[in-house]
Structure 1
Amino acid sequence: MGFYEAIETVGKVIDGVGVAVIALGAVLAAGVAIGRLLNRTPNTYRLFRSQLGRAILLGLELLVAADIIRTVAITPTMESIGVLAGIVLIRTFLSWSLELEITGRWPWQKRRDEPAPEPAPAEPAAQ
């Protein structure tokens, strides 16, 4: 197996893992949601959406990684890089939208309920 075939195989494996993460995450989130519905747990829908969104986010990250690997290593033409840029932009927008839906804030915003970081203790003065 040559270099290009190995890179193509790695890309396909990462693609497969990304799809599997989304599919498995959807099944697991649905199973947990059904259990919560049967137990009449509050906020079942919100928790289901959160778990499903996280599975989709992780799967999208893997799919983007596979696209980058294949495009940069196999077909680094201006056209393929332009297509990759479009794919990355679309998937980044989807990721940010999902993050906003899940957490209620943009990825770069700090959580409101997070405590401020504690300052590092001062080092004792050298004697």
Structure 2
Amino acid sequence: MEFGTVITQVGEVIDILGVVAIVVGVLYALADAAIRRLRNLGPVYTRFRRVLGRGILIGLELLVAADIIRTVAVTPTIESVTVLALIVVIRTFLSWSLEVEISGHWPWQKARYAAIDEGASGAVAGAVPRE
């Protein structure tokens, strides 16, 4: 088997994994929201958005990885690299805005929010709160 063919197939497998990650994320978010709604366990909508966003983020990361593998490993042309660059910029913007939606603050404010959380609750800075 030729190297380019193998790399293309690897890219396709990672593409499929990206789509599966998004679908599983959606299904998990829906099931989690339904269970929380039926049992009246706290805010359903905000948690649903956060869980859904995480699933989409993982899927987007895998899709970007697949695009990079296919474009860079198989004889890159100016056109294919330009298309890859546009795809990466668009998906990075989507990932970044989803991260802001999930966390509720800009990425460069993480240290500030961790310090506020530590002062308010006595928790360790940077610790992820349990849900």
Q: Same fold judged by TM-score > 0.5?
A: yes
* CA deviation string 1:39-92 (max 9, x = no partner): 112211100100000000010000000000000011400110000000000001
Where does residue 45 of structure 2 map in the other structure?
A: 45
> 107-116 or 71-80: which moved more?
107-116
Partner of 2:88: 88
TM-score, length basis structure 1: 0.86
Moved over 6 A (4+): none
For 1:44 and 1:2, locate their aligned partners in 2 and report how far apart those are by CA, in whole Å: 50
What is the aligned partner in structure 2 of residue 122 from structure 1?
Answer: none
Based on CA coordinates, which of the two structures has the bigger radius of gyration?
A: 1
The 3-state SS of whatever aligns with 1:114 is helix
How far has the Cα of 1:109 moved from its partner? Answer: 2.8
Distance 2:111 2:25 in 1: 25
TM-align CA RMSD: 1.8
Q: Which has the higher helix share?
A: 2
Could you say which residue in structure 1 is the equivalent of 2:60?
60
| Structure 1 CA distance for aligned equivalents of residues 49 and 99 of structure 2 | 11
Count the aligned residue pairs.
118
What 5-or-longer segments of structure 1 have no aligned partner? 119-127
Q: 2:11 maps to what in 1?
A: 11
Q: CA deviation at 1:111?
A: 4.4
1:110 aligns with 2:110: yes
Q: Deviations over 1:79-109 (max 9, x none)?
A: 1000000000000110111011110122333
CA–CA distance in 2 between the matches of 1:84 and 1:68? Answer: 7
Normalising by structure 2, we get a TM-score of: 0.84
- Which sections of structure 2, spanning at least 5 residues, go unmatched? 119-123, 126-131
